[in-house]
Structures are given as structure tokens and as C-alpha cells.
Amino acid sequence: MEKIKVQHVTKIFGKHITNALKLVEEKKSKTEILEKTGATIGVYDANFTVNEGEIFVIMGLSGSGKSTLVRLLNNLIETTSGSIYIDGEDISKMNKQQLRKIRREKMSMVFQNFGLFPQRTVLANTEYGLEVRGIPKEERRLKAEKALDNAGLLPYKDQYPSQLSGGMQQRVGLARALANDPDILLMDEAFSALDPLIRKEMQDELLDLQQKVKKTIIFITHDLNEALRIGDRIALMKDGKIIQIGTGEEILTNPANDYVKTFLEDVDRSKVLTVENAMIRPITVNIELDGPKVALQRMREEEVSVLLAIDKKRAFKGYITADDALEAAKRGEKSVVSFLKTDMPTVPKDMLIQDVLGLISESPTPIAVVNENKLVGVLIRGVVIQSLASETEGVTKDE
């Protein structure tokens, strides 16, 4: 299951590398090392594993070392110390031939500015990886055409990259990577040069594609929203160090330190979104009219296990759970009041999401949203995170 394993990987640029490495071991800071030795820390003691079939996002602002890190994975940049295992083999100890074999057969890269060869047609670009492997002409043409067909680009195969739009060029970049049928895709800010609408489209396409082909994908981005949308797990980098690794939800609800917190505040939309933007329609039960059987029926219908309780004036009264309702129905009770729970927190609908994130992560139940004492919605953790990640408001922080 473990596809990529990165162990104590450090990359130092410049001279006096051994001195700098010593200082790294002494846990000195990046600026201190730069002052003392003139060496720049690219990546600093990185440790993580990526599982097969996972989309692993490495996120950080520019200069955080994320692009260096992804280039260490296919040895475009050599590691200074540490080990990188691909399927259990340490690539930092490989000779040129072994490395070429890995690059040709196991991993392909997609670039921020597409990295297409301008003098080659779309088809010839897509064939490139197969061509350098020495695959016969006819076979590589068929494979490349199939990859282009999957991307819906077959009609453009004889055009040159400069004749295509950015989004289409990146689809060619992706088709070129997939034509090789690699296990691992390295995507370096692959969608960052595209405009927001196209970017979202490409993200969706990538997710669809991932459903079908199940590659192991390392995705580099500076955009939190993108990271949350597509990442199974996210590693957050700063100054060459990985600060936190976790699912989007873990990072959002439980930032490892102040830096992560400010980064999130800086980038995400929780600052501008109010509770009203993130809430969903509540499934309710009327405590003055409905009994346990009606409640159970409604839960089945809406496929939920909790109903929010209101009275005739839609005032919020609490909630009931399916287990309690079932018990009560068995006992033949006619009202839900006897097992009504009231420990659900409430928030006003115009509160900022930023201010309720803590509450959301702590509360075992969803949160009721009220307006002038009336129930207007409900906040569910997953939906809140999704709304933070959505692109509709266009407040992405771009470089």
C-alpha cells in the first residue's frame, strides 16, 4: 500500500553543504544557516509516506520548498541527505540507468506552465515519453491517440501547443503523462496558471480520472481551496519544513501551530463567509404535532439519523435521535417531548464561519442556526469544509 516513503530528506543549495547539514542537525533555523554558511535550505528533514491510490497534496506559499520537494521525488534535484523510497527502492542510491527506468515507467510529471515542446505537435508531445522509451512508432502513436481521445483532444492532435488555450494545453500535459501509464503522477502547480473557472473544471476532471485510473498523485499547490477540494491528505510546508500532515478537515479544525492558523485565516474564506453561506436546510420535527413514528418515517425519507425539533412558530427546541425515537415508538409513546435533547449549540445566522470553526470541531452534534429565535438552518462539519473549499465566491488567494 505504501507507494512513496520520504525519510529525513534534506536539500541544501549552495556551498558549504556539510557545514549547513551539521547546523540542520543542530536544529538551527533557516535564516541562521544562511547567515553562517551562505547555504539555502530547500527542504528540511521531510518525512512522510504516500499510499497507493492517494492524492497527496503538498501546500505552501512560494519559497516554502514545495516545488523542490516534488523534484526530489523524481530526482530532478538530488537530495543532500535522507532517503526516498519508491515501491521500497531508494532512488537516492540509484545510478543513472535505474533512475531513467523509474522516470520512464513509474512516474510522470505535469508542469505549471505545461512544459509542452513548442516545435512538436500535440500528438508528438503526447508521444514523447513513449518515444524516449524506444516504443515502436505505430504502437506509441496508438497509445498517444488513446490518451488524447480520453482527454477529448484527438481532433487537435496535429495542432501545435501554441494554438491551444491554456486549459487545453494542460490537458495535453496530463495526456502526455498518462500515455506513459505511470503509477505515480507528479503535478507541480499543474492548475495554477489557469483561470479560476477552468481550474475548477480541471480539478473535477482530475477527480473523475482518479476514480477510474487510481494513480498515486502528488499534487503541489499554493491554493488552500484547491488542496481541500482534491487532497486525500495535505502536507503544509513553510521554510522548507513540513509543518502538518493530515486530511483537510484535520488541518482546518486542528491547526498544528499559529503559522498554520494564520495561513488558513489568510487564505480561506472563513473570514468572509457567514454561517448563512454554509448552512443547509434543516430536517425538522414539530414537537407539538409529530410523534416518534412520524419522526422515524421522516428520517428514512431524508436519510438522516437526527431531526431538529421546532414548535409551531419554528422556534428551535432541541433535537431527537433515531435510537431514541425507535425506543419511544416501541413503547407506544405519542409525543417526542419525552426524549427531546437540548444540548445542541446554536449560532446566529450572520456569525462569521471563522468564529464558529472551534465550536464545529468540538461539538459532537451539528449546530443549529437561528435567526430571531427561529430555526433557519443547520451546520454540518463536512458541508462547512466543502463551502470553505468552493470557488464560487472568487476570494482565492493567488500569488
Partner 1 sequence: MSKMLDSIPTLPVADTVENVMDWLTGSFSPLFDFVQNGGKTAMEFITGMLVAIPPVVFILMIALIAFFATKRKFGLAIFSIVGLFYIYNQGLWDELMNTITLVIFASIIAIIIGIPIGILMSKSSVAEAIIKPILDFMQTMPGFVYLIPAVAFFGIGVVPGVFASVIFALPPTVRFTNLGIRQVPKELVEAADSYGSTGWQKLLKVELPLARSTIMAGINQTVLLSLSMVVIASMIGAPGLGREVLSALQRAQVGNGFVAGLSLVVFAIIIDRLTQSLNKKKS
Can you give the binding site for partner 1, defined by CB under 8 A?
71, 74, 76, 99-105, 107-109, 111-113, 115-119, 128-129, 131-133, 180, 186
CB 339 within 8 A of CB 324: yes
The residue among 193 and 304 lying less far from partner 1, judged by its C-beta, is: 193
Residue type for position 118: P
Q: Least CB distance from residue 175 to partner 1, whole Å?
A: 13
The residue among 36 and 101 lying less far from partner 1, judged by its C-beta, is: 101
The residue among 116 and 307 lying less far from partner 1, judged by its C-beta, is: 116
Do strands 233-238 and 55-59 pair parallel, antiparallel, or not at all (unpaired)?
parallel
The residue among 76 and 304 lying less far from partner 1, judged by its C-beta, is: 76
The residue among 147 and 308 lying less far from partner 1, judged by its C-beta, is: 147
Q: CA-CA distance, 289 to 302, in Å (whole number)?
A: 19
Q: Least CB distance from residue 111 to partner 1, whole Å?
A: 5
CB 114 within 8 A of CB 169: yes
Q: Least CB distance from residue 97 to partner 1, whole Å?
A: 9
The residue among 93 and 96 lying less far from partner 1, judged by its C-beta, is: 96
Q: Least CB distance from residue 208 to partner 1, whole Å?
A: 24
Q: 196-213 and 166-179 are packed helices; what angle lies between their axes, rounded to 10 degrees?
A: 20
The residue among 5 and 100 lying less far from partner 1, judged by its C-beta, is: 100
Q: How many CB atoms are located within 10 Å of the residue 297 CB?
A: 12
The residue among 103 and 222 lying less far from partner 1, judged by its C-beta, is: 103
Q: Least CB distance from residue 15 to partner 1, whole Å?
A: 14
The residue among 172 and 320 lying less far from partner 1, judged by its C-beta, is: 172
Q: Least CB distance from residue 222 to partner 1, whole Å?
A: 17
